Structure 1
């Protein structure tokens, strides 16, 4: 039997270390050049071991090669092309030189896992309420910044554990926004939206720093994508994606109501504004209550001198954003006031100007209530570095007082004493408005030159809206004596007022509405057109157009109004609305102005106070128990909020109908060209015979006996007036959100 000879193993010219590293080895003994240069252990597989020892076969796997290149360099070392040790929380170079060491997370961790991280202690003063670290999160030293939301995120898709509604169920898996979309969102938000009063609470440098560090909160990021996709153009198809982001952000916040944080409050404000743009006023109304509770729990209404200036200013702006939203939604109604009804509870100062906030320059500002006159009777001048954001908040404070005054007159039939005090109260509020304008510096006043100087400034919108609201406050105040409108005194009470005061009210409304129309004309002449604005601009435009048409048809000769002039101004208003920020609410306003041009102004029907209101259906039918039978659901008062209108045929007309020829407008809009929103045009599904019989049986069983659940599903209907910026409530139907028994709101 031939025994095979064992040939000796060839001497290796490559060391084990170079073989593992897959680099060329010069084969020098005892240490090759590569190992000598890098300080590695150099061994050769020369076959000295026996064939069964396994040393030669496993030598490559048994050598631990030290890692010479770190996985990722910090941003400071990367920007300077310096060698980084890669150690955390600070690399060796940053620790020695005293630099801030920030590691940019990988794309996967930044988009998926890191969206739930908490906020910066520097931006919010180190308050970590609701952001305690969680054991086992796997993020090492970043655990102290983790929010509860980040614990369930481990993939590239954001998932909801329990859908809150059918809409949320459709978003059970929502692809996370990619890097390019997030960067476009940040750029568009801070370029076009941030300078609007209700959106100015975010500090760009702080936000970008936290994002690049992987500490961005999920709900805040999703709400930013949603509101930016609504107000600006982020790309094709991203408005639908933004709506899903808003739904998901809302679900994440509602899932952790017991842990309020500043970031959740910021996200809630953005969600509320998004709901308002989408005409989902019921949702905005309820979310505002949650946001107000968050603010009270976090003591946003109090000063925190121990925090840094940026943290204090961010909190102030967030609290004042809630105040302005509450002022709009409550519209002076005492039952709905949260913060605007008790401004003394907000014991913080007004915000500083944008430059000081952007560059972290501390500034001492005034409180909400302006200082009293000086001993000589003159008004103290405004501080030199005051910004328009503070002035905008103060004009909202005056408007809230105006609306509360008008609501107090409409709650019940005013007596002789109350009517006698009306002119004096109007004069008092007008004096506050005059004092507001008198304190403005020359560069802050409304002139065509000042407008053109701000054409390319992002602060043009707040400048325009502050002056528009100053004009609108006069219309809100003096409208109380204009017969035939809602928010006005009954005709019998107006007849008891001094005729000279009534004529003054009409003159004031005309002058300020005409001035608003002139302001709109100036905006249309700007090179960049109408700036990106909140919903305030379309609402002021609509009220201006309605007021001018009303005054034309109720005594235009007395005021020197012509149909041609009113028609021209109404078309200017329509052009402004067409250039305004898109959205369902703006589309509804545009439709109303087009209807006004086509049909002329018509006095809205006023519901009687003695009649029983018809059941009003709320917005989301998903609030119903899914186990309810279809027969019971068909008879329930819940449904689409935009499709419900109060019946007006059986309502008596308390005042004679005003009849006047419809003015001829230079450009008539065909009535057939007016687009009707899909929610309004949609008709309810026909009821089958079995469903109708089942509903009739259940109804008959409940109507013949007392039942504790009678009216349990009746709710308030929130239309345009729920936002509070349309207190005149010109058009009936979807705009009527109040219970008719509350009176002529």
Structure 2
């Protein structure tokens, strides 16, 4: 009797069978009776598939383990069933994992110092073995880049993502490889999709900074988590298969499609503005491209299964699950893509076309773009305002990119509150509700991402400015002051703890001077109608009370949202008020003064 290829590879007795032998049937293998390989024939035996991993107790006693939790043997013997990690992990990867997760430990100040030590050791190991193209080194590079991104060290993160993409190409992660098991293939896919997202965030719509081409990706979209956990193979469509959207796809697959459209919108905006200025072309000629992106986003929204559509109930079902952040990120980025598409015709945005070009454009097209931008910014505000309090005991979402999304939505809402908005306006009461929800949501994240406090400071200034709708919007800062890709790169950026040490030394030298009263130009009291607004770092309970008094309509109030508790410095080894006395995008020095 001829043994099957699987039993022959495993060197066990094969009982044979019409369709599958007993051993392959029991282990779930695909049984095949190909001819035995001969030397030089080129036939390569199938890769051996291992059974379930044995627990520590069964492995010690050399007993068969059912692989459950607990396994049958431990359950019968009333023994503790424990599974140790198998295999070896490189020290660089372990150090990178510890460094990235250190900011979530209880003692944040000590964790920041320890995290810096771990990441420096990991970096030394990676560069000493830069020529070793292994999956573990690639994973470590991705985590090191993520660590620097968390610390606002975008220069380093920018370089690490490029290195990681090169290594991923060398490992052929952009192609399917059937010699690996389903779980191993899925791990490789997810790592490549992680690089896909990071590369697009680092490029920011600048085509020459994009390293990972979507056309080169010949891999499936991520599979549902259940299939991954139970090792149940499934075929999912590729990113380019727009006509094969399946309802059983996980949220991460839909989010990848949204990120892909967003990247192409940014590339289009970047090239489109330059093309218009170089050729003096009218923006009306780009209307078909606008409509194409709108249709792509609509197709993604229509393909979402009913259980993934946004509603308060849908969020409540995920409020205490790992899917919470992905669910919120999917929906706010859907609306964020529209805001980034329409902001070209919104005066005030740095990315907008020159005012002369906008004024020469059809008023109908300008009004349409501005109304759509405000509509989707309002949708983001509604999502946050209606759900952020449902997870009051935990972080609402853990994705740091929400700083940018909520900040851009705040800018669109701010334009609508001021007289200079030529199309659609918004009442201060409505805007105030959104600003407060944004501040509450982001302020909780500052304990873990303190370098992003400048976003929150700017939204606070926006909140203060909506009480003066007749005041002109402040001038924006130049791109070279905001975008690290547009300014000269310094030799080395300081980490959080180094900045904290410098800030601490400055405050020590200054003593109590910062608590002394300022020059008596005008006193801020609750009985005066003309006041002097304090600096950004002085925003606190008194300022919020002053804003409440200036609002004639009572709802919503500060008591409804408990804003004051979020206006202090974050509980981290970093003082957000010393980062900058200005906002991130605006020059608020004169705009918020009475």
TM bin (shorter chain): 0.5 to 0.7
Give the superposition deviation at 1:521.
Answer: 1.4
Aligned equivalents of 2:587, 2:209: Cα separation in 1: 21
1:482 aligned residue (338, 346, 364): 346
Q: Which residue of the partner structure matches residue 123 of structure 2?
A: 250
2:460 corresponds to 1:594? yes
TM-score normalized with structure 2 length: 0.68
Name the structure 2 match of 1:387. 250
Please tell me whether residue 218 in structure 1 is matched to residue 84 in structure 2.
no
Cα distance in structure 2, aligned partners of 1:329 and 1:276: 10
Q: What corresponds to 1:576 in structure 2?
A: 441
User: Which residue matches 1:620?
Assistant: 492
Is this contact kept in 2: 1:523–1:529, CA < 8 A? Answer: no
How far apart are 1:300 and its partner, in Å? 1.1
SS at match of 2:390: coil
Hey, what does 2:3 align to over in structure 1? Answer: none
What is the deviation of 1:473? 0.2
Aligned to 1:604: 476
Distance 1:83 1:519 in 2: 53
What is the match of residue 140 of structure 2?
A: 267
8 Å CA contact retained: 1:594, 1:669: no
Larger Rg belongs to: 1
The whole-number CA distance in structure 2 between the counterparts of 1:357 and 1:614 is: 42
TM-score w.r.t. the length of structure 1 is 0.55
Q: Which has the higher mean CA deviation after the structures are superposed, 247-256 or 591-600?
A: 591-600
1:521 and 2:385 correspond? yes
Distance 1:461 1:283, change over 3 A: same
* Cα distance, 1:361–1:502 mapped onto 2, change above 3 Å: same
Which ranges of structure 2 fall in alignment gaps of 5 or more residues?
Answer: 1-52, 68-81, 467-472, 495-502, 504-532, 534-546, 552-556, 589-594
Q: 1:79 aligns with which of 39, 50, 57?
A: 57
Shift of 1:77: 8.5
Pair 391,620 (structure 1): closer, same or farther in 2 beyond 3 Å: same
Distance in structure 1 (CA, Å) of the matches to 2:432 and 2:450 = 25
Which residue in the other structure is 1:495 paired with?
Answer: 359
TM-aligned CA deviation for residue 352 of structure 1: 0.6
> Over aligned residue pairs, what C-alpha RMSD do you find?
3.7
- CA-to-aligned-CA distance 1:166-207 (integer Å, 9 cap, x gap): xxxxxxxxxxxxxxxxxxxxxxxxxxxxxxxxxxxxxxxxxx
Classify 1:289/1:560 alpha carbon distance in 2 versus 1 (closer, same or farther; 3 Å).
closer
Contact 1:598–1:669, Cα closer than 8 Å, also in 2: no
The structure in which a higher percent of residues are helix is 2
Report if the CA contact (8 A) 1:223-1:246 is conserved. yes
Change (3 A) 1:682 1:487: closer
Q: Distance in 1 between matches of 2:263 and 2:349?
A: 20
Q: 1:590 to 1:392 in 2, by over 3 A?
A: same
Deviations 1:100-147 (A, max 9, x none): 9xxxxxxxxxxxxxxxxxxxxxxxxxxxxxxxxxxxxxxxxxxxxxxx
- SS for the counterpart of 1:408 is helix
How many residues are matched? Answer: 448
For residues 19-30 of structure 1, the aligned pairs below 5 Å read none
Q: CA 1:428–1:364 in structure 2 vs 1: closer, same or farther (change >3 Å)?
A: same
1:587 alignment partner, SS class: helix
311 and 491 in structure 1: CA distance in 2 versus 1, 3 angstrom threshold = same
2:375 to 502, 511, 519: 511
What whole-Å deviation, never above 9, does each CA across 1:308-339 have from its counterpart, x for those lacking one? 11111111110110110111111111121111
Equivalent position to 2:313, from 445, 449, 456: 449
Q: Secondary structure at the match of 1:525?
A: helix
**Distance change >3 Å, CA 331–CA 83, structure 1 → 2:** closer
Structure 1 residue 730 displacement after superposition:
2.9
Residue 354 to residue 426, structure 1, CA distance change in 2 (3 Å): same
Alignment match, 2:585 = 730
Secondary structure, aligned partner of 1:456: coil
User: What is the aligned partner in structure 2 of residue 419 from structure 1?
Assistant: 283
Q: In structure 1, what is the Cα distance between the partners aligned to 2:365 and 2:60?
A: 80
